[in-house]
Amino acid sequence: MNVLVVGGAGYIGSHCVRQLIAAGHRPVVLDNLVLGHRAAVAADVPVYTVNLGNESEVGKVLRKEKIELVMHFAAYAYVGESVADPMKYYFNNVAAPLHLLRCMLGSGVKKFVFSSSCATYGSPAQMPITEDTPQAPINPYGQTKLDVENALRAFAAAYGLSFAVFRYFNAAGAAEDGTIGADHTPQTRVIPLAIDAAAGRGPPLQIFGNDYPTPDGTCRRDYVHVDDLSRAHIAVFEQLSTPGAALLYNLGTGTPTSVLEVIRAVEKVTGKPVPHTFAPRRAGDPPELYADSTKARRELGWQIKFPDIESIVATAWKWHEVHPHGFGGRK
């Protein structure tokens, strides 16, 4: 299948491109490279540096490459930034996908896979989180993801669009061979920050809060390997053959891991101590968030290859060992 991967030069998108190739599909990348890296995509994969707002050019790509399905990963995803600059998030995370969807429908492409987030759930009262947990975002980032989900429901009913929404928990890790991984500026993910602290390339890891009602007082999150996420996206393709299909899935391991447990895993994998400090809680941080992914396992046959934090950290460490400065500024 010819698959357009929007945001395919970014962290999750680039891993999905590799998994598409492994599964026998033909990926085509569309990425403006504001946050993505051309070096994250194999040289023989077509890459178009087109903005989604340019519907004429996007339509040309869809037709030229005979695209049959579109995957969308091109969102801004910093919660704090979304609070400080919500307009940036609404234009990129809501308006831009609407341009894309209009192009798709105009070109006869009616299969869509959308990268959503557990941020759409806000701060749920009960764990684990199922797909039926009420969605009540507490920040603009989560709201923009929910806004697109709602648009997709309407488009499925009105236009016969078939879509799958995947609500991620904490994407983590890197390709097993160490060739691609996380390269973000600024870096906010706890595993890369802990690795940089251990390797002496960054400051001590700052832990926000150690007085939460969790076993060790630090927040607990559900870390799921980026390649496991990617394989779920590809496993849904067959179900999208039904016109108007509206599919919603949580993706996580179902096992919450605390910040201190992440530190211990990094120390075990690297053999180095992780310098760290404690800071006050951040507003809006729930004590724990973790998924019930039973639906994805049952309906998609999704299986997790990296079930524990140490196996995830090991892949991240391999990437950071080989690429201590990420892609080295290469776009």
Of 205, 165, 198, 144, nearest to 296 by C-alpha is 165
Is residue 7 left, alpha or beta, with left meaning phi > 0 and alpha meaning psi from -120 to 50? Answer: left
Could you give the CA distance from residue 121 to residue 77 in angstroms, rounded to a whole number?
15
Instruction: Provide the greatest CA pair distance for the chain.
Output: 56
C-beta separation of 265 from 259 below 8 A: no
| Cis, bond preceding 134 (omega within 30 deg of 0) | no
DSSP assignment of 292-327 equals --HHHHHHH----S--SHHHHHHHHHHHHHH-TTTT
Which amino acids are annotated catalytic?
141
- Per the structure block, which two tokens stand in for 83? 């609070």
Cβ atoms within 10 A of the Cβ of 331, count?
Answer: 13
